Amino acid sequence: MTDLKKKILWQCRRGLWELDAILIPFVERNFDDLNTENQALFKELLSYEDVEIFDLLINKKECMDTRMKTLVVIILSSHMNTLEID
């Protein structure tokens, strides 16, 4: 595991079970497959406040940052696929 991925995984520990349950498995399974732009966007997403990430991923509020919309769809799709597998 790369140092970047270890750092990202650590930053995914948000203290909110719902976010941890989405973000940590996403990074473990998908982060390496993201292109450079989406990896940078994911790092930026982690700089958001927990309530903002919660609104995007749990409450499914529309993201005001148009650059982030595609990444949010990727994360949510991965989460749904994970639920179907488990």
pTM for the predicted model, two decimal places: 0.89
> What is the percent of the chain with per-residue pLDDT over 90, rounded to a whole number?
81
pLDDT tens-digit profile of 29-48? 999 999 999 999 999 999 99
Q: Tell me how far apart the 2 most distant CA atoms of the chain are, in Å.
A: 33
Cα separation of 76 and 86, whole Å? 15
* The CATH number of domain 3-85 is 1.10.510.10: no
